[in-house]
Structure 1
């Protein structure tokens, strides 16, 4: 393993939680509401099944190939040439995904708070800070997440509680007026966020021995699902069907908060959630890009390539799309299929081929062939 650090299952869950909700809580309500209407709060429940499935795939593959990432065992399963192509494809996917995340972050910060600040400064500063975390390794990133995530949860809970007096239950009914179809249709886009949990395939090799990886993965999916259900439900009860008219419904919701003309303008709290969560998300995706690149190129130490890759990610974020509207279209139209192919089809084929060709270990190093759940 290139990475010498080791983290616990709880630290892994702490890393994964903001990796999904950081961007989802701002973008998912409007996107889901477009298709699910009043049933938008149900969509994250169906979407979470995608998260459970990719975690299942990652754990099963890790059982057969302990202490290896998908970049490494794809060559063992399919052969050197095809395995190398799969590795390159996965690394390119994470390059592209990281660029999109950075552009989402930059557009939000500039559009909501710093309209006169150059996009390059906003994105470049985030990449620099994340690069320092990546150079520190997975342990530094996990400990940073342990410090930041409780504040993210606290601020999120504060926003939801303070919005309670403004909520209108009439906006919720009738539930499932047109059956399950709208909520299932609305679950397609959020499922893309849950599919990102396949990033666990790069974390499992650095977990401490004896950790309950199955339980930690399921806990992560459930907490993310609950967070998105609450987010969608609150925005629905506040705005009703006009939720889709806002790009960032949670940001607009925060502007409604006013307690005794004293506690107002809590957009800064949403900003704090966004920046802290995005920092962890970008750091983890950035880390996967660096580790994946090092493994594809057979580099023994990943640290020297961290800053050069960071520079490339900064440039790539500007190439991703030319406007916020175009970026939203990419997330709605092409990216779900992109995610589905890379994060489900490829791992599923690798697992099937590994079983048919009887590749990999038959016992899990953690608990004699059984994943603790």
Structure 2
């Protein structure tokens, strides 16, 4: 299929950008609606899903080295069930890719009002398609290039916001107990669950440090989540929930005399870089899922047809930003954990049971 190789570090960088590219802008607002001043605690509870998912997929990989996800499924639940599961994952990743692409287009549309949404989406998908065709090694190298730019830019922006911070906004902590922060974790856990995607990357690793860098990636994502949520809280206080992009709104307060002011273009630029990686990774996984499901020897011939489907789905499934936010709150909190955590857990459980059964037969 794809003979390219990436390191575990590159895998971690890819997943960091994949998760935070969209989460850093939209999640604080949704979390604040439920957690209020405890929104900084919600990522801690949400990260449990991330750690759990990484452990599940790494255990699957250890039991079936160099096997694709659907090859593992065939060994555990049989060919027919795997075919049905393959169709479910194909549909799931197609819808997820369409939703991510539409979210990107809606954000860019705010700043380029006269540019049609279709042009914004097609331009990004064209770039992603060429990267996907180039293979996993190129995706890994691009992520390695963009990662330090993304991280450095985010933390520099937070540093520039330090004079505007009001630490007293964090109090009172746990005023209404743990429940609000637990409710606030429902949405972030969707993003942490996306670490399931590494099950499609593990066969391409050139080393055996997948577990180490998988766990470190969850920790780094968690720390970034907490820091950005606290920053937004310290600046916007209880108004956080009323902003669509609170982190972007907070950066508007950066003003160091006449030297540094209005850094919105920097936010847009780093968000585009991160979202490019996210769309490319989801695009690549959608292609791999389709090729493995249909047992194709080469995935490249289906890159363009799947790209067209992603554009179509982005219009059909997510007609506007309001529908997108509604889906994020009502559908994805249930769908994503099932597809990204609980089905892989079921597959792992079946693998354990089958191994014990064979041991008893011997």
TM-score scaled by length of structure 1 = 0.94
Shift of the 83–21 alpha-carbon distance from structure 1 to 2, 3 Å rule, reads same
Aligned partners of 1:312 and 1:254: how far apart in 2? 36
Aligned partners of 1:114 and 1:231: how far apart in 2? 26
Alpha-carbon deviation of 1:359? 8.6
Q: For 1:192-271, what aligned pairs fall within 5 Å after superposition?
A: 192-209=190-207, 211-271=208-268
Q: Let me know the Cα RMSD of the aligned residues.
A: 1.4
Aligned to 1:78: 77
Aligned to 1:328: 325
Number of residue equivalences: 359
Aligned partners of 2:337 and 2:130: how far apart in 1? 31
Aligned partners of 1:358 and 1:10: how far apart in 2? 31
Aligned to 1:172: 170
Aligned to 1:21: 20
Alpha-carbon deviation of 1:71? 2.0
Aligned to 1:116: 114
**Structure 2 unaligned spans of 5+:** none
Aligned partners of 1:147 and 1:340: how far apart in 2? 30
Aligned to 1:56: 55
**Local SS of the residue matching 1:188:** coil
Aligned to 1:107: 106
**Local SS of the residue matching 2:232:** helix
Alpha-carbon deviation of 1:216? 0.3
Report if aligned partners of 1:63, 1:361 keep a CA contact under 8 Å in 2. Answer: no
**Local SS of the residue matching 2:4:** coil
Alpha-carbon deviation of 1:16? 0.7
Report if aligned partners of 1:70, 1:87 keep a CA contact under 8 Å in 2. Answer: no
- Please list the CA deviations of residues 34-56 of structure 1 after superposition, one character each: whole Å capped at 9, or x if unmatched: 00000000111111110000011
- Please list the CA deviations of residues 70-106 of structure 1 after superposition, one character each: whole Å capped at 9, or x if unmatched: 2222122111111111111112111111111001100
**Local SS of the residue matching 2:296:** coil
Q: Which moved more, 1:132-141 or 1:260-269?
A: 260-269
Aligned partners of 2:130 and 2:357: how far apart in 1? 35
Aligned partners of 1:178 and 1:42: how far apart in 2? 13
- Please list the CA deviations of residues 235-290 of structure 1 after superposition, one character each: whole Å capped at 9, or x if unmatched: 00000010001000011111111111231111111101210000001111100011
Aligned partners of 2:282 and 2:358: how far apart in 1? 28
Equivalent position to 1:318, from 315, 320, 324: 315
Report if aligned partners of 1:76, 1:83 keep a CA contact under 8 Å in 2. Answer: no
Structure having the higher helix fraction is 2
Aligned partners of 1:359 and 1:9: how far apart in 2? 31
Aligned partners of 2:358 and 2:5: how far apart in 1? 22
**Local SS of the residue matching 1:236:** helix
TM-score scaled by length of structure 2 = 0.97
Q: Which moved more, 1:280-289 or 1:318-327?
A: 318-327
- Please list the CA deviations of residues 150-181 of structure 1 after superposition, one character each: whole Å capped at 9, or x if unmatched: 10011101110111111111211011111211
Shift of the 40–361 alpha-carbon distance from structure 1 to 2, 3 Å rule, reads farther
Aligned partners of 2:327 and 2:186: how far apart in 1? 14
Aligned to 1:131: 129
Q: Which moved more, 1:46-55 or 1:340-349?
A: 340-349
Alpha-carbon deviation of 1:361? 12
Aligned partners of 2:275 and 2:193: how far apart in 1? 17
Runs of 4+ aligned residues of structure 1 deviating over 3 Å after TM superposition are 359-362
Alpha-carbon deviation of 1:31? 0.5
Aligned to 2:187: 189
